[in-house]
Every structure is written in structure tokens, then in C-alpha cells.
A and B are shown apart, each in its own frame.
Chain A
Amino acid sequence: MTTDLGTASENLATADTARRTRDRGSRRTWRGRDYGLVILAAPAVVLLLVFAYGPMAGLVVAFQDFNVADGVFGSPWAGLENFEFFFTSGNAGRIMWNTLFLNVLFLAATLGAGILLALMLNEIRGRVTKRFFQSVIFVPYFVSPIVVSIFLQAFLAGPGGRGGLVNDLLSMFTLPEPSWYTTPGPWPWILTVVKVWQLGGYMSVIFLAAITAIPEEVYEAGVIDGASRAQMALRITTPLLKPTAAILLVLGVGRIFYGDFGTIYAIIGDNGTLFATTDVIDTYVFRALRTFGDFGTTAAIGLFQSVVGFVLVVIATLVQRRYARETSIL
């Protein structure tokens, strides 16, 4: 039975790939009747040009001794001097490692939690119950990082920083009560829990949508073969979620060099004792800009971040094409 189900999911993926190949192959020429599509795309294209491509001109600041009064076009050139600050600071290695490590943790944990929650939601039979739980787990997505940081302070630090609810709980079991906000070790895991809480529901909705697109016949075949619901979830649903997971993974890898500034800065702020495990490129750049006001240096770090991010996307796509061609989106 396992082989049959596996074959069914592979056949679906193969058919999908074949359809996409066919579409790519059929060259379409411009026809007047497509003007509606052009108009529909125009606002998005304009927005992309104005807010994504236009500002790229500002990257020249990374190579300038930027001067507020002279602006982008009048400031003198500085070569690669601006890049020196970051790479000679002695912090570059640690910050890049933190950025990558935290993002890998976030990506893996939120994808995993999203799939798990989607599978669980899919097994709920009652429509009202399902909708209720779906809404409940989606709500944290809308909670501001500032509010999350206040929650976390109440849980971990409490009023005046002398111990929150977590320490109260630990004390009930006579366990050691750490000073969370001065102990950097646990923070990658604390932040990961926060990210899962924030994004687990959001991810699960995407996977749930993918699950609803799975043809009913596949499950009927599983039922005929005597598969239990758990087996169908594991052997049918999970493999068929691979393309969606792959897309989210590539998108996630594309941003893997971008620290989650909103959440991390709201929670960690300027707490230097936690920088060892939580300082990421974005928080470092923000602090640099805020304290030094040096746009050239911060633009240089941002440019480096973008280039490495781009390289990682290309690598992820190539790896995906090589090893998981049927789920590749590019």
C-alpha cells in the first residue's frame, strides 16, 4: 500500500511538472487582447520599480563618505572604506553566525510547526471547531513585537526584573531560577519559541490551503487500501505538501541573511549581555545607524547582506533543482 500511495503522490507531482513544462514551451506572443493583464499588473510593477528597484540607486552610499548636506549625488567617494568598519570590528563572524543560526532555527521550526498544525487542523471534523482553532492559532500573527516583548518580560523578568512567572513556576519545583535577561545561552531557543507562536498559525493556513487542493480520490484510494487516518496524514498528505514547503523554504532562504529585526530588537533592545547569541546584522546596523549616524557604513553592511542573501537564494534554487526537481519553482 505504501508503494501505491507513494506512486500516487509522485504521479501528481510529475503531472504538475509536465504541465508547467508545457506552459513554458508554448511561446506566447503579445496580443492586443492581453491589455487587461498589463493594466492589472501595472500597479504592482510600478510599486516594485518605485520601492524595490528605485531605492537601489541609494546603494552608492555604501561607497561614499556620505554627507548629509551634499546628499547621495554630491558626497565624495570613499572606495571600500565603509566595509572596513564591519569586517575589522571583530564582531562580523559572530553577527553573521547569529543571523544564519537564528534564521535556520526560525525557518525549520516555523515550517515544522506549520505542517504539524495544518495536519492537526485537517483532522478536526467539526467545521465550527476547526474554524475556531484555526482563528485562535492565527491571532498571534497580528500581535505586535512590542506587545510580545512585554509578555516576555512578564514571563521571564517580572516587575523590576526580579523574576517572572517562569521563575515562579521553577521555584515551585525547587529548580534554579535563571536571570534570563543577563544569560545569553537560552535566547536562541526563547526567540524560536516566540517565532513559532507568532508564525505557526500563519504557516498552517498556507499548508491547510495546500491540503484542500489534494484530490479526494487519493484519500479514497488510501481508505480502500485500509490506511488509517494517521497513515494517510503521514503517507499522503505530508509528501504532497512538499512543493508548498519547498516554495516557503526558498523564500525563507532568500531572507536567511536578514535578521528578524522587529521581533529581536523589540525583545532584546540594547541589552548588551544578550548580544553574544542574539545580535544579528539588522540589529547591529540599526544600532550603528542610531549611535554613529553613519549612513555609509550601515549601507555597506546592508549591501553585503543583500549580496550574500542573493547568493544564498541562487544556491538554494540550484540545490533544489538538482535534488528535488519536481518541487522546484524556478
Chain B
Amino acid sequence: MAQLINGAALSRTVSRRSFLAGTGGILAAATLAACAPGSGGSSGSAGAKTYRLLLPGDVPAQWDRISAAVNSKLKADLGFEFNPEFINWKNYASQSLLKFTAREDFQTALSARWLNIAQLIESGALQPLDDALESDKYPNLKASVDQSAFDANRWPDGSIYGIPAVNSAARIHHIVARGDLIDKHAPGGIETFDQLEKFWYDVVQKEGIPGYVKSNSVFDVLGAPTGTLYAQGWESPDFLPLYFSSDSLMFVPSRQAAATGSTDAVPFWEYEPYLESLHRIRKYYEDGIINADRLNADPATIKAQFDGGGAATCWGITDGLDTSGHLDQLEKAVPGATLVSLLPFRDGLAAKPNQTFQADNLVVVNAAAADAEAALQLLDWVSIQENHDLLQYGEEGTDWKAVGDDAYEPVGEYTNFPGYALSWRIPLERKFSRMSESEASWFEWSKDYENFTLDPFASFIPDLTEIEKEHAQITAAIAEFGNPLWAGAVDVAEGLDKLKKAVDRAGLAKVQEELNKQADAYLASQ
């Protein structure tokens, strides 16, 4: 074999110049290839345009199969395909904003007041939808979203900038509890906040697990109008705090504002029930009722803790996902476990909590999109029951089967499509077939606008323009001194003192004055 090898060829040396030129050429070619258009994108099947959209969260299991099925139908119906980009929740706000800024070519995204819709509207980055909605081009969309939902989500300039993607009239923060533990420690059931509190203490003492687990949230403590740890909210859910943004300072308006026309909003610490709530959280923190890592724990860790049987209750919202979001995992960890949705209103189902009916989720259309009409066609297309079901629950038979007229039973692995960022429509949503009785009852209740009281400041959206710098600094102070208070991690008197000094220095007086001025003007205009 040795003779077969060409020794002369092997021993031939490559010159330094050839080596450098060759290596450099390869690197240059690789660089050019990397910079070539289309190297980072994806293309649809032959002949069909592909439109991008932004969705929050992780890619659902089996997404490739469902996406192919959706695209096949989309192409046949509308002549184009879609290619959603999933962005992790933790980065969604900043990344979606960056993509708008970079004028990237995507059709739709999720936005809301708690994200950055104010900035996007102010900057003209969103397509106003009034003309489209007044036309007859999108009948399915108009039929599946109540006109009152559109009206409640008009911006102060009178325009509609987003399609409300909600599945109930009002989303009420509440408690998802282990039914098996309630049977054991509160056999008479839980109907009031006092009973709930006693249950938490019993569980901590007798089971050795926390009563309630959640990542940090101001709304847990200072309800709007309810908060899982805010006792007063369950007694009389009759007002909503005012704020420039939900991560900034909360203000409490006068209860007579609507009658007098004078808002007289004061910082939250001047409202006794809120102060009492802060002290209660601190006590819960010290007594081990709530998780001590609220400041650091991410939602996935908290969910895993509850689903693994490591807590008696967790947070829920009336979007019909209490049971479907936890039960399967919980049953694997704790055989025989059950779930109950708790809304311990003093007045039970007769409670009429104040609501703005502003949607938590709005699907907005990118003004820089290549084809805004296609975006609305897609929103109309997902408003058809068959298409909605395919996207939301997967392929019938493979991923789910219908139970009765309005329920579904998952039978495959496809779950967790973020319908709230595209396809949630109240009349089209199906209930989880194993939804607990309590959740079914409260979910139905939350779908009826008549069960709520329209807040006097329902469509008031304050304008930040005059106080941008002060607001930014107050928000920074809340992040530093407010968040530890919501977590119960610091002494209330000491923590509040630091917070007050920081927000005073940041310009509280100016911000408070501006809020009252705008709120008074709003009341006068009603």
C-alpha cells in the first residue's frame, strides 16, 4: 500500500503566500455568505408570501406540525402563509420594542398598556384600525369581538390601535387552591378572606408547605380591584388605582371623584387598606405563608413548585386556564389532588367589581408592515371557529376532541399556543373538559359585562409627555424600594420611608399634579 501513496505530492510544501491567500479567501467567502440576504430568514412554500408576526412565550410542542397544517389552510384560503417568531416572555417587551424601532417587517404583535403600547402609539408605529373595522372586509373579526370591547379600548385620540384578544369580559385576579387540602383543613369550604387566611396558616403548620406562592406583583398586594393578598378588595372591590404605568407609582382617587369632578388622587400609602395590606404581606413573609423568593423567583419556577405539590395555593386570573394550566402536572405529583378557583368576595357571585374593560392583551398591527391588509385578513381568518380551533387546540382527533358544544379534551401534546396574542375571541373559546366546577362557574360569570361596574376612570389613559423624566425616575424608585415592599421582604415603615424619599426626590409633586389635572379633565369630558 505504501507504494500507492504519492510521496512527492505529500511532501510538497504549501507556500506561506498560498496558505494566507487560501485561508483568507475562504474566510471572506464565508463572511459574504453570512451577509447574503435571506441567510437568516425563512421562506414559505413555493408561490406563497410568508408574513411574520411576533408571539410571546416558548414554541409550543408539536408546533411544526400545527404550523404546517395552518399554513396549508391559510394558503388555500388567503394565498399567503405565516411564520410567527416566538420571543421568551422575559425579553418580550424589550425585544418587540426593538423590532418596532428597527422597522422590521412583521405584521402583528401583542401589546398593551402594561407593555409599551403608549410609546408605540405616540411614535406612530401602530396602524390605526378604525377604517378597517368600519369596512365590511372583516366580518368574522367583527362578529367575534363585541363592539363594547373595541370601544373600551379606544385611545384618548379616539382611535382603535389593537384587537382585544381576551376570552372574558373582565380578568379578575384570584386564588387557585388545592381542593384536596381544603377538604382536609377547611372542610366547610372557603368563602371569605379570613377563612382563606386561616387555611394558609393551617397548611403551613400541618403540611410544612407555603400557603401561597407567586413571583412578585404589586397587584397581589394593592388590588385592582382584587388582589390575592389584598383583603379589602374581596370586601368591597369598588375602585381601581390610577397610574401612568403599572410598574410605577399607584395613586388612589377620591371615591367622590365622579360626583365632584375632582380626582384628588393621592399616593397609595395614604390609603389605609393599602397600608394595612403591606403590613399583612410582611407578616405573611415572616410567618412563611408566602414564598420568600418572590423577588427572584421566575413564574416557571413558581408554577413547577405548585404543580409539584409544594404549595397550597397559587395565582389565577379568570381566563379559563386555572385547571388546564395545573391539573395534569399536579395529579402526577400528588395523586388524587384536585383544584378549586377561589374568589372570596364578601358578596359572592353578586359582587360587581369595578372594571375598565380595557383588554390586557391587544393584537396590534405594525405600521411598517409590508401588507397591513394581510394582517387584518389573518386576524379575520383566525376568528372563524374551525381556524381558531386548529391554531388554538391543534388538529381535531390528533390533539383534541370536542366534548359537548363548548368544551375540548386534549389528547395530544400540542398545548400552550399564546392565543391571547392572536386568536382569543370570547365566543370561540372552548372550555377545558376537566375544568373544575368552581372555575367553570366563575369563568362564566367573568364573561358577562353585566356582572361588573364600569369604573369612573374606565377609558382614562394618562399622557406621559409632560412628566417623562420624573415618571422614569419614580419607576426606577419603585423597582428599588417598592418591589421589596410588595414581596414583604423589608420592614414596612423603613421601606416606605425610603420609597417616599426617593419618589419625592424624583418629582412626585409634579407627577401627582399632572395626573390630577389630566384626570379632572377626563371627568369633565364625560
Q: Which residues of A contact B (CB under 8 A)?
A: 33, 35-43, 46-47, 50, 67-71, 81, 84-85, 88-91, 153, 157, 159-162, 179, 181-182, 269-273, 275, 279, 284, 286-295, 297
CA distance A246 to B276 in the complex (A): 58
CA distance A38 to B476 in the complex (A): 49
A75 (CB) vs chain B CBs: closest residue: B123
**Residue contact A43 to B30, C-beta cutoff 8 Å:** yes
- Of B97, B123, B476, which contacts A67 at CB under 8 A? B123
B119 within 8 Å of A by Cβ?
A: yes
B291 within 8 Å of A by Cβ?
A: yes
For residues 23 through 57 of chain B, which have their beta carbon under 8 Å from a beta carbon of chain A?
23-25, 27-28, 30-31, 35
Give the residue among B21, B35, B305, B482 with the most A Cβ atoms within 10 A: B21
Given contacts A43-B27, A85-B469, 7 further A-B contacts (CB under 8 A): A33-B17, A35-B21, A36-B16, A88-B469, A157-B296, A162-B292, A269-B295
- Of B120, B295, B368, which contacts A271 at CB under 8 A? B295
A40 (CB) vs chain B CBs: closest residue: B24
18 pairs of residues in contact across A and B, judged by CB atoms under 8 Å: A36-B18, A36-B19, A39-B21, A40-B24, A50-B35, A69-B368, A85-B472, A153-B296, A160-B310, A161-B294, A182-B490, A269-B296, A271-B483, A271-B484, A273-B490, A290-B94, A291-B475, A291-B476
B479 within 8 Å of A by Cβ?
A: yes
B264 within 8 Å of A by Cβ?
A: no
Q: Which residues of B contact A (CB under 8 A)?
A: 16-21, 23-25, 27-28, 30-31, 35, 93-94, 97, 100-101, 103, 116, 119-120, 122-125, 210, 213, 216, 245, 247, 288, 291-297, 305, 310-311, 367-368, 468-469, 471-473, 475-476, 479-484, 489-490, 502, 505-506
**Residue contact A161 to B292, C-beta cutoff 8 Å:** yes
Contacts of A40 in B (CB 8 A): 20-21, 23-24, 27
Contact of A161 with B472 at beta-carbon distance under 8 Å, contacts A89-B506, A272-B481, A291-B247 already known = no
Total number of residue pairs linking A and B with CB closer than 8 Å:
155
**Residue contact A47 to B24, C-beta cutoff 8 Å:** no
CA distance A160 to B314 in the complex (A): 13
- Of A37, A89, A271, A284, which contacts B20 at CB under 8 A? A37
**Residue contact A68 to B100, C-beta cutoff 8 Å:** yes
CA distance A70 to B247 in the complex (A): 27
B366 to chain A, nearest CB (A): 10
A273 (CB) vs chain B CBs: closest residue: B484
A287 (CB) vs chain B CBs: closest residue: B479
Give the residue among A68, A89, A273 with the most B Cβ atoms within 10 A: A68
**Residue contact A36 to B28, C-beta cutoff 8 Å:** no
Contacts of B21 in A (CB 8 A): 35-36, 39-40
**Residue contact B20 to A39, C-beta cutoff 8 Å:** yes
**Residue contact B473 to A89, C-beta cutoff 8 Å:** yes
A269 (CB) vs chain B CBs: closest residue: B296
A181 to chain B, nearest CB (A): 6
CA distance A275 to B471 in the complex (A): 19
- Of A84, A89, A272, A291, which contacts B482 at CB under 8 A? A272
**Residue contact B296 to A181, C-beta cutoff 8 Å:** yes
Contacts of A181 in B (CB 8 A): 292-293, 295-296, 489
Q: Chain A interface secondary structure, helix, strand, loop or mixed?
A: helix
Contacts of A85 in B (CB 8 A): 469, 472-473
CA distance A84 to B468 in the complex (A): 12
Q: Chain B interface secondary structure, helix, strand, loop or mixed?
A: helix
Give the residue among B103, B125, B296 with the most A Cβ atoms within 10 A: B296
- Of B93, B288, B367, B506, which contacts A290 at CB under 8 A? B93
CA distance A275 to B489 in the complex (A): 14
Nearest first, the 6 closest Cβ-Cβ pairs linking A and B are: A161-B293, A39-B24, A36-B20, A161-B292, A68-B123, A40-B24
B20 (CB) vs chain A CBs: closest residue: A36
**Residue contact A293 to B24, C-beta cutoff 8 Å:** no
A297 (CB) vs chain B CBs: closest residue: B472
Contact of A67 with B124 at beta-carbon distance under 8 Å, contacts A161-B296, A270-B479, A272-B481 already known = yes
CA distance A272 to B490 in the complex (A): 11
Contacts of B247 in A (CB 8 A): 291
Contact of A160 with B483 at beta-carbon distance under 8 Å, contacts A40-B23, A42-B28 already known = no
Contacts of B505 in A (CB 8 A): 90
CA distance A222 to B295 in the complex (A): 57
**Residue contact A68 to B469, C-beta cutoff 8 Å:** no
- Of B94, B245, B469, B476, which contacts A91 at CB under 8 A? B476
**Residue contact A89 to B124, C-beta cutoff 8 Å:** no
- Of A42, A50, A69, which contacts B125 at CB under 8 A? A69
A64 to chain B, nearest CB (A): 12
B443 to chain A, nearest CB (A): 29
A269 to chain B, nearest CB (A): 6
A292 (CB) vs chain B CBs: closest residue: B472
B484 (CB) vs chain A CBs: closest residue: A273
**Residue contact A159 to B310, C-beta cutoff 8 Å:** yes
CA distance A46 to B34 in the complex (A): 12
Contacts of B471 in A (CB 8 A): 292
Contacts of B468 in A (CB 8 A): 294
A186 to chain B, nearest CB (A): 15
A168 to chain B, nearest CB (A): 15
CA distance A153 to B294 in the complex (A): 12
**Residue contact A69 to B124, C-beta cutoff 8 Å:** yes
Contact of A89 with B119 at beta-carbon distance under 8 Å, contacts A40-B23, A159-B305, A272-B295 already known = no
